[in-house]
Amino acid sequence: MTTVVPGRRTRRQSELLDRLLSLFLEQGFSRFTLDDLAAELRCSKTTLYALAPSKEQLAVEVVKHYFKNATAQVESAVARQTRHDRRIAAYLNAVADALRPASRTFLDDVATFAPARSVYERNTRIAAERVRQLIEDGINHKTFRQVDIAFAAEMIAHTMQAIQRGDIARRTGLNDAEAYRELASFVLHSLRLD
């Protein structure tokens, strides 16, 4: 078995992670064995072992890869906005866009596999903190009404965590992407100055 070397990935490894990500987003990852993945991707198991030493760790690497890509896309969407009142909507809508390709199977696999769930939870906490910063910026630039920032951020964070846990999907029938779109609309209309 090849030893995994931390650090930069080769172009081939990055492409393989992208292909694994596409496969996992569509079909989840729990049902696959390493043999299945090697056959599906037409590569050797050794090639997969170069990415991670086990199937479980490979799933975590792919989930991390997903959130790394999603974070770059989300922050790019925010950077394109010059109005502070549109930045928070851009952020939450970009999160929705990033979640759109994720099948319920993928999200359920992430939710039931503790190491992958931990990655999602960490990213949800980071996203909640980013939303808090965007609210504070909007208030400071007088595009949002004065609210208790900590309370607003906490309320949004709890909703984001409920989305991540699948609670919103179970209670409302909205998928994660739809729930983030609704959250964006609610937050923006709640904070705007009249």
Residue 145 lies in a domain: yes
**Whole-prediction pTM:** 0.84
List per-residue pLDDT tens for the chain, 194 residues long: 333 445 678 899 999 999 999 999 999 999 999 999 999 999 999 999 999 999 999 999 999 999 999 999 999 999 999 888 889 889 988 988 998 899 989 989 998 999 999 999 899 889 889 989 999 999 999 999 999 988 988 898 889 889 888 899 999 999 888 998 999 899 888 998 76
Q: Does residue 17 belong to any structural domain of this protein? A: yes
The C-alpha angle 77, 81, 84, rounded to 5 degrees, equals 120
Position 57 in a domain = yes
Q: Give the pLDDT confidence score for residue 5 in this predicted structure.
A: 43
What CATH number has the domain bearing residue 133? Answer: 1.10.357.10
Angle, alpha carbons 11-14-20 (nearest 5°): 145
143/82 Cα distance (integer angstroms):
12
Closest CA to 182 of 78, 99, 83: 99
Domain extent, residue 68, equals: 9-189
Do the domain assignments include residue 72?
Answer: yes
Select from 192, 185, 190, 191 the least CA-distant residue to 89. 185
Q: Domain count of the chain?
A: 1
pLDDT at res. 116: 96
Q: Evaluate whether residue 42 is within a structural domain.
A: yes
| Of residues 165, 52, 162, the one with CA closest to residue 118 | 165
In a domain, 1, yes or no: no
